[in-house]
Amino acid sequence: MFNITDLPTYPGCYLFKDKNDTIIYVGKAKNIKKRVKSYIQKNDLDPKTKSLIKHALSMDFITTDNEVEALILENTLIKKYQPKYNIRLKDAKNFAYIQVTDEEYPRILLARKKIGKGKFYGPFVSAHERDYILYFLRKTFLLRTCKKMPKKPCLRHHINLCDAPCKGLISKQEYHDKIEKIKLVLSGKTKELIKKMKKEMENHSKKSQFERSLQLRNQITALEKLSERQNMQRQKKYNEDIINFEISDNKVYLLLFNIYKGILSNKNEFLFEYHDGFFEEFIVQYYSENPIPKELIVPMKIDNSLNVFLEKMSGKKIRITTPQKGEKKQLLNLVLKNIEITFFTDVVKVHALKSKLNLQEAPSIIECFDISHLSGTSTVGSMVQYRNGRPDKNNYRRFKIRTVEGIDDFAAIAEIVRRRYTRLIVEDAKLPNLIIIDGGKGQLNFALKELEKLGLKIPIISIAKNFEEIFLPGSNIPLKLGKTEKALKFVQEIRDEAHRFAIKYNRLLRKKELIA
């Protein structure tokens, strides 16, 4: 690999490089020589570390005076070089800012980063509170949300959620006055705005402009409630973050709960490959980009240098707690329970279905078809797709039946199955591992014939509503599954979603026909 004889025994960072002299991993250590030596001497390395060692052909190092400085340096180097084998937290799903756009008629949007024109407010510690404020401001001040201004007022105007600047029902000056008020709220100057608006309301009342005065009164009432809500939250306890994780198949499943002044306000999910020291690395990377709370509740003891690092970053005293019992231990257990629900429930469902249907592989992609009509009119088909146990709404499809007249669910199912998989074959797209048909033996047989015509061998089943029976090809006897079994509940969940999606499309078509 490389010569470690001349490595220093001081704290610092070590940088592994590949054949192209590209940095592929940055690590920190109390003793650089001892840490790097452990990579060579250990026989029970995890797969990710084995791959790292295989590709690391050279290395460099930077010494520091102490381990806290090493932590800071490590974080800086990881940000700069984005090494392949370090944890990457780009997939965190929280948006941090509210953006007031720089448009003729501005909108307010969620924004993860300060990119684009406009003014940004945040970052917001509580995603829940941020979303509430965004909803509140749009509703209270009747702002437009459309990406492109339509030619005529949309539904939001007709249900009194937008002043329709597209139709000129509000002047540009009036609209911008609202935006200035919104900026005061986002700047934390709600009370100042309320005083200003009360004077404005009195002036309109004196001029007998009662409609405008009433509108202002309603806005003031809403703002006062918002101010009370924010004050109540500020009176609660200090901020805490609770972190827990589970390791399975050399992957780390980690959840972080933000407790914002006593209120559980946000949940962040992370999934990355396991390697030694992953937890410290996660803490450093996450809190270099996010607010550091007064207390961290964690499942394992952390080196004191990490505590010093966090205090240096935040400029305040930070408490790191590893509880063994009591309320904080219960909170850690709650996070662990959520990990099971968030990451593993879907996996369990998929594998339960594989087992009950005797499939060769777990059905990671499932597609389900349903037909909907009203006494043979406005007949439509739906297809929903589940990936790894979860709905993938980007791959939902709906079909207007073209070749079937009247009530003929068998022929309608045949048509949409034929159209769906003919298209996937032409596009050379990925096929599902399992197909579910909403219906009985008849619908199943018609769908199966279409697959055979296309030369496809995809596992297929149907589920009949009357007795919730599952039918398999080549068997007249339904598969018996207990009402509480995960496999049956999963099939029912998918079928119900396909049914909902089909009915929604059917209603849309009938509404269009009535309007026409």
What does the pLDDT read at residue 235? 43
What does the pLDDT read at residue 439? 94
Q: For the chain, which ranges sit under pLDDT 70? A: 1-2, 89-96, 123-129, 226-238, 260-266, 376, 513-516
| 190-206 and 210-234 helices, crossing angle to 10° | 160
Could you tell me the fold of the domain covering 365-515? Nucleotidyltransferase; domain 5 (3.30.420)
* pLDDT tens track for 448-474: 999 999 999 999 999 998 889 999 999
Domain 12-81 has CATH 3.40.50.2030: no
- Which residues of the chain form CATH 3.40.1440.10? 12-81
CATH homologous superfamily of 240-344 equals: Ribonuclease H-like superfamily/Ribonuclease H (3.30.420.10)
What does the pLDDT read at residue 117? 86
- Which residues of the chain form CATH 3.30.420.10? 240-344
Question: What would the two tokens of residue 268 be?
Answer: 């962040």
Angle at 126 between CA 122 and CA 129, to 5 degrees: 90
What does the pLDDT read at residue 93? 47
| 172-186 and 190-206 helices, crossing angle to 10° | 150
* pLDDT tens track for 90-117: 544 444 688 999 999 999 888 877 778 8
- Which residues of the chain form CATH 3.30.420.340? 365-515
CA 130 – CA 158 distance, rounded (Å): 26
CA 241 – CA 75 distance, rounded (Å): 20
CA 114 – CA 213 distance, rounded (Å): 37
